[in-house]
Amino acid sequence: MTNYLDALSVLLLVSAFILMGNKRIGSYIKTFQFQSALVALLTGIIGISSFAQDGRIDVLIICAVVIGIKVLFIPYLLKKTYAKVAYRVEKDFFLNIPILVLICCLMVVFSYFSFAETMGINTGTINNQIVNSFSVILIGLLFMISRKKAIGQIVGFLVIENGIFVTALFATHGMPFIVDMGILMDILVAVIIMGIMVFRIDEKFGSINVDNIKDLRG
Amino acid sequence: MSDMILYFIVQTGFVILAAPLVNGIIKKIKALSQKRTGAPVLQMYYDLFKLFKKTSVVSDVSSWIFRVTPYIVFATAVAAAMIVPVTTLIKPVWNTGDVILLVYILALGRFFMMLAALDTGSTFGGMGASREAMISALIEPSILVSLITVGLIAKSTAVFPIMTFMQTVQNPLIHPVYLMIFCALLIVIIAETSRIPVDDPSTHLELTMVHEAMLLEYSGRSLALMELAAAIKQLVFITLLVNLFLPHDQLIGIHGIAAIGISLLIYLAKVFIAALLIGIVEVNTVKLRLFSIPNLAALSFILSFIGFLQFFAFGG
Amino acid sequence: MGYVLLTVPLLAVVLFIVLKKKHLQHVISVAASVTMTIAAGFLTWAVLKGGFIEYSAWGGFFRVDALSVIVIDIVVIISLMTSIFSVGYLENEIKHEKLTTDRMRIYYVLMHAFIFTMLLALTVKNIGIMWVAIEATTLASAFLVGFYNGKEAIEAAWKYIMICSVGIAIALLGIIFLQFSSLAVLDSSQFLDWTAMIDHATELQGPTLRLAFIFILVGFGTKAGLAPMHTWLPDAHSQAPSPISTLMSGVLLNGSMYGIIRIVAIVNRSFGNSMFVGRILIAVGILSVVTAAVFIFSQKDYKRLLAYSSIEHMGIIAIAIGFFTPVSLFGGLLHMINHSFTKSMLFLSTGNILQKYNTREISKISGLFKMLPVTGVVFLLGLFAIGGTPPFSVFASEIVVISAIFQEKNFLVGGLLILLLAIIFTGIVVTLFKLFYGTDIPKETPPGELNIPGVIVIVLLLGIITVMGLYIPNELRILIDQAVEIVIGG
Complex-level ipTM: 0.93
Distance, in angstroms, between A183 CA and closest chain B CA? Answer: 29
Contact B295 A98 (CB under 8 A): yes
Nearest CA in chain A to B308: A109
The rounded distance, in Å, linking the Cα atoms of B12 and C61 is 74
**In Å, what is the CA distance from B166 to each residue of A80, B245, B260, B266, B309?**
48, 7, 18, 16, 19
**Nearest CA-CA partner of C32 in C148, C139, C99, C114:** C114
For B306, the closest of A6, A10, A102 (CB atoms) is A10
- B and C touching (3 or more beta-carbon pairs closer than 8 Å): no
**Nearest CA-CA partner of B244 in B304, B191, B201, B309:** B304
- CA C305 to chain centroid: 16
Residues in A closer than 8 angstroms to C205, CB to CB, are 120
Name the band, by pLDDT with cuts 50, 70 and 90, for residue B316: very low
Nearest CA in chain C to A200: C154
Name the band, by pLDDT with cuts 50, 70 and 90, for residue B96: low
Task: Compute the mean pLDDT over every residue in chain A, rounded to the nearest whole number.
Answer: 85
Residue C236 CA neighbour count, 13 Å, CB half: 32
Contact A189 C173 (CB under 8 A): no
Asked if residues C264 and C199 have their Cβ atoms less than 8 Å apart, the reply is no
A23 phi and psi, to 5 degrees? -110, -30
SS3 C242: helix
As beta bridge partners, residue C313 has none
Name the band, by pLDDT with cuts 50, 70 and 90, for residue A34: very high
* Domain assignment of residue A215, yes or no: no
Asked if residues C70 and C336 have their Cβ atoms less than 8 Å apart, the reply is yes
How many domains is chain A built from?
Answer: 1
Q: Is residue A178 less than 8 Å (CB to CB) from chain C?
A: yes
* Domain assignment of residue A218, yes or no: no
Q: Is residue C172 less than 8 Å (CB to CB) from chain A?
A: yes
DSSP label of C251: I
Task: Classify burial at A109, counting beta carbons within 10 Å of its beta carbon; exposed 0-12, middle 13-18, buried 19 or more.
Answer: middle
Residues in C closer than 8 angstroms to A162, CB to CB, are none
The rounded distance, in Å, linking the Cα atoms of B308 and B143 is 12
- Percent pLDDT > 70 in chain C is 98
* Domain assignment of residue A33, yes or no: yes
The pLDDT value recorded for residue C477 is: 93
The pLDDT value recorded for residue B34 is: 87
Whole-prediction pTM? 0.86
Residues in B closer than 8 angstroms to A7, CB to CB, are 174-176, 179
* Domain assignment of residue A199, yes or no: yes
The rounded distance, in Å, linking the Cα atoms of C370 and C377 is 10
The rounded distance, in Å, linking the Cα atoms of A31 and A12 is 11
**Nearest CA-CA partner of C131 in C84, C171, C98:** C171
Residues in B closer than 8 angstroms to A4, CB to CB, are 174
**Nearest CA-CA partner of C14 in C113, C80, C137, C154:** C113
For testing the chain A interface, which of C120, C177, C305 should be mutated: the one with the most A CBs within 10 Å? C177
C347 phi and psi, to 5 degrees? -65, -35
**Which residues contact residue A42 at a Cβ distance below 8 angstroms, ignoring those fewer than 6 apart?**
A5, A8, A9, A12, A166, A169
Q: Is residue A112 less than 8 Å (CB to CB) from chain B?
A: yes
The rounded distance, in Å, linking the Cα atoms of C316 and C38 is 31
Structure-model confidence comparison of residues C249 and A88, the more confident one: C249
For testing the chain C interface, which of A175, A181, A187 should be mutated: the one with the most C CBs within 10 Å? A175
SS3 C94: helix
For B306, the closest of A21, A102, A108 (CB atoms) is A108
Across chain B, how many H-helices and E-strands are there? 12, 0
Q: Is the pLDDT of residue C78 over 90?
A: yes
Task: Classify burial at A88, counting beta carbons within 10 Å of its beta carbon; exposed 0-12, middle 13-18, buried 19 or more.
Answer: exposed
- The tens digit of pLDDT for each residue in C283-341 reads 999 999 999 999 998 888 999 999 999 999 999 999 999 999 999 999 999 999 999 99
Helix axes C276-296, C411-432, angle to 10 degrees: 20
Q: CA C100, C102, C104, C107: dihedral to nearest 10 degrees? A: -130
Contact A18 B299 (CB under 8 A): yes
Q: Is the pLDDT of residue B92 over 90?
A: no
Contact A150 C154 (CB under 8 A): no
The rounded distance, in Å, linking the Cα atoms of C349 and B211 is 77
The pLDDT value recorded for residue A118 is: 66
* Domain assignment of residue A18, yes or no: yes
Nearest CA in chain C to A118: C207
- CA A42 to chain centroid: 14
- What is the domain partition of chain B in residue ranges? 2-314
**Nearest CA-CA partner of B235 in B107, B10, B108, B77:** B77
The pLDDT value recorded for residue A125 is: 47
The pLDDT value recorded for residue B298 is: 83
Whats the size of chain C, residue-wise?
Answer: 490
Please give, one letter per residue, the 3-state secondary structure of C131-157: HHHHHHHHHHHHHHHCCCCCHHHHHHH
Chains within contact range of chain B (3+ C-beta pairs < 8 Å): A
SS3 C361: strand
DSSP label of A93: B
- The tens digit of pLDDT for each residue in B282-309 reads 888 888 888 888 878 888 888 898 888 8
A90 phi and psi, to 5 degrees? -135, 165
- The tens digit of pLDDT for each residue in C383-422 reads 999 998 888 999 999 999 999 999 999 899 999 999 999 9
The rounded distance, in Å, linking the Cα atoms of B294 and B303 is 14
Structural domain of A153 = 2-210
**Nearest CA-CA partner of C134 in C155, C149, C148, C119:** C119
